[in-house]
Every structure is written in structure tokens, then in C-alpha cells.
């Protein structure tokens, strides 16, 4: 049986009782190492876009945590098992709902009790999971068209604030990449990773790709702020017609 936690009144789930992991490498067999992280996965039902914004206190978070395709988006973190993202996308492509897809993979994962994974599929169905050996504070929220999760955080305020930011921007007219980045920024202001700040990433799948849909900061003293700088610099480099294509529905043709 996979663990389903009792929710707090605000919709978040509490940290499971910490169980020491005496041999983290063995416990996380099949994984890519610990990625104590806060992340948001979101969907724009108007455009069909899905994506992830994430930050952590280890380098290169964009290489292992976020996974996005036309069928959905998945963030795999804590003692990260990249297959939950890669194989999860394959199962989504076969038509499985995200809950069925990820639960199938978790049942085969010997290290599932040190995993944290969450995501959304193209139909807007959400999934969240925390293993029994999650590192406090850890928890998650699931709301309309988004999920938020984190582990080894300062506290619950990080994910609660991120969810509130995403909900507030639902009718703002902003594109998904901007909404995800704003939510990540709010989570950093609320405390973020209790160990510090090193890397951040933004990844969006879209039927109309933009330069801003894949931005990464692999090692920086203030990665979320640097991610914003990279995002704005990239957006400024885009021709004006591409910046406004979401509103107009215009096709995107880029000469590189």
C-alpha cells in the first residue's frame, strides 16, 4: 500500500515521522542522490502547457528533477529516482492517468520510502507522494491545475505560499512560465530550503515553444533571483511577436 497522509486544514500534508536512513545510497537504490527541494508543477488549461519550477541547495537541479512533455509534467525529488520522471512520461503517453502511472512505478521502486514525487497530466489530474522516510519539513499541496511539494524546508509556509501565488495568478493573463516563476519566488521569500540556495530551473512543455521555456541556474549564491534574471534576459532577446504570440494564437517560426 502506498502512503496517503492526513491533510492539514490548509490542504497540505504533514511530514511523516522521520525514520533514520542508515545507508542512504542503498535506501535510494535506483536514484540520483538527494535533492532536498521545493517545486511547483502547473498546467494552463487554455494553452495546454504544463511545466515545473524548482529550486534546491545542491547544484544542477534542472538536470534531474523536472520532466515535462505534452502528456504531463512530473517533479521527482528527495532521494531522486529519475525513472519516476522518464518512465512516468512514457506511461502517460500510453494514456494512463498520472496517479496510476506513478503508483505503478513506485510499487516497483525499492527506495520509494525516501522519494518525493508530484505532478499533473494533460487532463488536469494531479498526484502527490511522500515516502515514510521524508526529511522534515516535508509535505505537499494539490490544487486546481497545480501541485506543490518540498522536503528539508524551513516550514510549511513555503509550499502554502507557492500554491497561493499560483491560484491568484489564474486569471491574470500571464503565461504559465511567468506564473510558475512567480510562485517559486514566493516560496523562496517564505523560507525555501533550510540548508541554503544553490540551483534553480524552469521547464515548460508547450505546443508553441519559447526561449523562456527552458531556463536553468546550476550553481549560484541566489539561484531563484538569478533564474529571474536569465528569464528576463531571454525574454528580452525574443522578437516582440513571439512575446505576444500566446495572446494572439500566432504560429511560432524562429530563425536560429
pLDDT category of residue 255 using cuts at 50, 70 and 90? low
- Taking a C-beta distance cutoff of 8 angstroms, is the pair 127, 119 a contact? yes
pLDDT digit string, tens, across residues 167-188? 999 989 999 999 999 999 999 9
Evaluate whether residue 2 is within a structural domain: no
d(CA 216, CA 62): 6
- Which residue, among 44, 56, 51, has the nearest Cα to 74 in the 3D structure? 51
Evaluate whether residue 7 is within a structural domain: no
Evaluate whether residue 3 is within a structural domain: no
pLDDT digit string, tens, across residues 184-239? 999 998 876 656 689 999 999 999 999 899 999 999 999 999 999 999 999 988 76
Q: Count Cβ atoms within 10 A of the Cβ of residue 192 and give its class: 0-12 exposed, 13-18 middle, 19 or more buried.
A: buried
What domain count does the chain have? Answer: 1
Evaluate whether residue 13 is within a structural domain: no
Evaluate whether residue 49 is within a structural domain: yes
User: The pTM is what?
Assistant: 0.82
Q: Containing domain of residue 84, as a range? A: 24-248
Evaluate whether residue 11 is within a structural domain: no
pLDDT digit string, tens, across residues 46-60? 999 999 999 998 999
d(CA 37, CA 192): 8
Rounded to the nearest 10 degrees, the angle between the axes of helix 176-189 and helix 223-237 is 160
Evaluate whether residue 1 is within a structural domain: no
Evaluate whether residue 6 is within a structural domain: no
Amino acid at each position: 500500500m502506498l502512503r496517503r497522509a492526513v491533510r492539514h486544514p490548509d490542504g497540505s500534508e504533514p511530514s511523516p515521522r522521520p525514520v533514520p536512513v542508515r545507508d542512504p545510497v542503498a535506501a535510494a537504490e535506483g536514484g540520483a542522490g538527494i535533492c532536498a527541494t521545493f517545486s511547483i508543477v502547473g498546467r494552463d488549461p487554455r494553452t495546454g502547457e504544463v511545466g515545473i519550477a524548482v529550486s534546491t541547495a545542491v547544484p544542477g537541479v534542472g538536470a534531474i528533477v523536472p520532466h515535462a512533455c505534452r502528456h504531463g509534467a512530473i517533479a521527482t525529488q528527495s532521494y531522486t529516482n529519475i525513472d519516476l520522471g522518464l518512465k512516468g512520461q512514457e506511461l502517460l503517453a500510453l494514456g494512463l492517468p498520472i496517479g496510476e502511472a506513478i503508483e505503478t512505478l513506485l510499487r516497483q521502486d525499492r527506495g520509494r520510502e525516501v522519494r518525493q514525487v508530484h505532478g499533473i497530466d494533460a487532463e488536469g489530474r494531479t498526484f502527490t507522494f511522500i515516502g515514510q522516510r521524508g526529511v522534515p519539513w516535508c509535505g505537499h499541496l494539490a490544487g486546481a491545475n497545480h501541485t506543490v511539494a518540498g522536503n528539508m524546508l524551513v516550514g510549511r509556509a513555503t509550499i502554502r505560499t507557492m500554491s497561493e501565488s499560483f491560484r491568484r495568478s489564474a486569471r491574470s493573463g500571464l503565461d504559465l512560465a511567468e506564473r510558475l516563476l512567480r510562485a517559486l519566488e514566493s516560496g523562496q521569500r517564505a523560507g525555501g530550503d533550510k540548508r541554503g540556495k544553490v540551483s534553480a530551473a524552469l521547464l515548460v512543455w508547450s505546443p508553441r515553444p519559447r526561449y523562456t521555456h527552458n531556463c536553468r541556474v546550476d550553481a549560484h549564491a541566489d539561484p531563484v533571483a538569478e533564474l529571474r534574471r536569465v528569464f528576463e534576459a531571454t525574454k528580452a532577446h525574443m522578437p516582440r511577436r513571439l512575446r505576444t504570440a500566446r495572446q494572439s494564437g500566432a504560429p511560432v517560426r524562429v530563425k536560429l
